[in-house]
Amino acid sequence: MKLNIFLVMSALCVTSLLQAQSAGITFNLGMGEQKADAIVFKKDKQKISGIVKFPGFADKKVKIKVGEENEKFASKDLDSIQIFDANKKLWYTFVWTKTKVYKKKGTEFKIIDENWICKMIEGKASLYMGGEQYGIKEVKVEDEKTKEKVKEEKMKVVTKEVYHYLKRSNEDYPVLVSMSSNALSAGYNAFFREYGVYYFKDSPEIAKKIEDKEYKYDDIEKVVTLYNVKPKKQEPRAEPKSEVKATKTKATPKAGSKTTAKKK
């Protein structure tokens, strides 16, 4: 019964997103910056550099300004979009991909048609963020060294529903594991416990902390970062050296050696 409730909830959330998109409904919560230097990668291996308007989740076309010209490309003809920061350093990557949602935990999935999702973390398990519209916003994050809150520009979903997908290198499509909201957030931790525990079952420590509510749905980036850390190899313990007791020995002259006595 409990599982059925979770499955119904997830289906309703995904369905509501699709219905909102088809109806043209948008819940804007401060758009942030929505353009940046980028490289668009086409499926035919062509690359176009310019200023790209971040694609919306279900956008069928992508706008890019090349020099003084504005161009549009069909999303179905594109593979990915690399977003660069002011220092020309790779910042984020948007991918046009199908995704999966659980129908039954670990046994069945429902395949969702292609949408634009943004890769947030790359590693053993890569984390992707999905939502109706995206924007670069200034947010407060915890400094790893000082543990103080500092301001940082970060890609965010700037509409109501936020979806987090995970994908390992041996998996075909990213799978929905966690959801959150920029408005009300009731019920999302239950969803994360149900599917997060399953997805991270190969890491018992992480799975248990999700089950015990030590890690919640809004800790998803922290959880993925920890999961991607390679475990340190334990060095073999050196065997203690056997103690050698120092003993005094009398020096004995070697055979055949001459000894001389001091003259008085």
- Residue at 163 is within a domain: yes
Nearest in space to 57 (alpha carbons), one of 110, 3, 134 = 134
pLDDT at 264: 46
- Residue at 85 is within a domain: yes
- Residue at 238 is within a domain: no
- Residue at 117 is within a domain: yes
Number of domains in the chain: 1
- Residue at 258 is within a domain: no
| Residues above pLDDT 70, as percent of the chain | 73
* Separation of CA 170 from chain center: 16
SS3 148: coil
- Residue at 205 is within a domain: no
Q: What is the pLDDT of residues 156-193, one digit of tens each?
A: 998 889 999 999 999 999 999 999 988 776 778 888 99
Is the pLDDT at 220 greater than 90? The verdict is: yes
Q: What is the pLDDT of residues 201-217, one digit of tens each?
A: 999 999 999 999 999 99
User: Hey, what are 212's tokens?
Assistant: 């015990």
Range of the domain at 69: 2-188
Q: How confident is the model at residue 153 (pLDDT cuts 50, 70, 90)?
A: confident
- Residue at 225 is within a domain: no
Contacts of 162 (CB under 8 A, 6+ apart): 129, 130, 131, 179, 180, 181, 182
Across the range 55-77, mean pLDDT stands at 95
d(CA 217, CA 181): 10
- Residue at 173 is within a domain: yes
d(CA 161, CA 191): 14
Q: What is the pLDDT of residues 100-142, one digit of tens each?
A: 998 866 568 899 999 999 999 999 999 999 999 999 888 877 7
pLDDT at 244: 46
